[in-house]
Amino acid sequence: MILDDRLPTILRKTYIARIEGDRLLIGDRRRYPWEISCVACASVQQVADAIRAMVTQGGGPLQVALTTMRLVARWIHAGLQPDRLDTFVHAANLLAEARPTNTTMARTLKDFVVDLSVWYHCQSIRSSHDRDLVSFTDSLLDAVEERFDHAYESMSDLGASLITGDEGVLTTCFAEHSFTLSMLKATERGNRVTVYVPETRPYLQGSRLTAPSLAQLGISVKLVTDGMGSHLMGEGLVDHYLTAADLVAMDGTVVNKVGTLANAIGAHHYHIPYHVFAVSPDPTKLTRKDIVMEMRDGGEVRRCGTSATTLDSIEALYPAFDCIDASLVDAIITPKGMISPADISMHYKVAGTDKGAST
């Protein structure tokens, strides 16, 4: 919890996900910033459904999933679920399948289940530890969260170091912890940063999450529509393009919210550097061919909040993510440092993943 007091409301762990009784409360990003409210989930299936329904998105599902694992341990402890590893495996699979493109949560849960298997397979661990399943699970998950917190701190130091004066920054969607802390640290170092925030249709993560969060931290924000990024760059207002990544493959392909590509091409055209925050490049995705791209319901494009934007009879498309070619990216900011996209596999590819790792 080292970061929470510096973060805007939407990124605080207690807002993203918390356990209350035998239920998980997920901060409802769909109602933010007008309401600080939660969706309550009484089963893992309900958590998965909430993620699919965009109650939380971006980096939110990772924190939600970790908290769900804590809750599953409590359910087992209370005799509400079978006391075996498979209960966790099943829960992890349900959550991982909720949205297919961002694999950070799925890989983190997989690692957690491997670590937890010691508890079930090794009698000596149970007896040598003076604790129950809940405290063992919590200790594993505390370590996972601490690792991510440290990653966000070091990545945001690198992000802040890019800003060397009174500069304009363009982003896309909601780039979460590393980006938000970068802008905060750059500001604290005396730079006057102006962040240009595209609204990010159809769910308005930019106008609802990014803009109010930065404003809450006292950072200058200018909201624009999704078509205005190149306009701003053409007018000379943008010194840096900075986004998160939902996924980075081993060929340096960056996957992020649809709309990111248009601005990456614009930045390339105007010779503006593009840096990407990626807390967990995926060693199992060798090239963009291995990436599962989510197509969401076009009906989501036909409305904005409670307003219809067109007739119900008009066909609409909602590809949720863009693939950005490595040639458009200056560097990827990772927990291992700032890495050229061409070199990402050197730092992340696991030996022997050339064959079949993507399956």
Which residue intervals of 36-84 are DSSP H helices?
44-52, 60-77
Residue 196 or 277 with smaller CB distance to a second copy: 196
- Phi, psi of 161, rounded to the nearest 5 degrees: -70, -15
68 conformational bin, left if phi > 0, alpha if psi -120 to 50, beta if neither: alpha
CB atoms within 10 A of CB 326: 18
- Identify which of residues 150 and 269 has a Cβ nearer to a second copy in the complex: 269
Rounded Cα–Cα distance for residues 268 and 274 (Å): 8
Smallest gap from Cβ 173 to a second copy, in A, equals 9
Tell me the two tokens of residue 31: 């109602």
Output the smallest distance, CB 127 to a second copy, in A. 55
Choice among 226, 246, 282, 322 that is catalytic: 246
Q: Which of 75, 109, 77 is nearest to 92 (CA)?
A: 109
Q: Is 297 helix (H, G, I), strand (E, B) or coil?
A: coil
DSSP secondary structure string for all residues of 127-145? HHSSS-HHHHHHHHHHHHH
Nearest approach in angstroms of CB 122 to a second copy is: 48
246 part of the active site: yes
Phi, psi of 51 (to 5 degrees): -65, -45
Instruction: State the minimum distance, in angstroms, from the CB of residue 238 to a second copy.
Output: 12
Phi, psi dihedral angles at 323 (to 5 degrees) = -100, 125
Q: Least distance to a second copy from the beta carbon of 146, Å?
A: 33
What span, in angstroms and rounded, lies between the C-alpha atoms of 261 and 322?
A: 6
Residue closer to a second copy by CB (options 224, 357) is 224
Which CB atom, from 74 or from 208, has the smaller least distance to a second copy?
Answer: 208
Q: Which candidate, 93, 73, 96, 95, places its Cα nearest to that of 83?
A: 73
Query: ∠ CA 23-29-35 to the nearest 5 degrees?
Result: 90
Q: Which residues bind to a second copy, rule: CB under 8 A?
A: 33-34, 172, 196, 198-202, 204, 207-208, 211-212, 215, 220-231, 234-235, 258-263, 265-266, 268-269, 298, 301-302, 304-311, 313-319, 322-323
CA distance 111 to 116: 9
Which is closer to a second copy, CB of 120 or CB of 318? 318
What is the Cα–Cα distance from 290 to 190, expressed in whole angstroms?
43
| C-beta closer to a second copy: residue 222 or 336 | 222
Q: How far is the CB of 198 from a second copy (least distance, A)?
A: 7
Just list the catalytic residues. Answer: 246
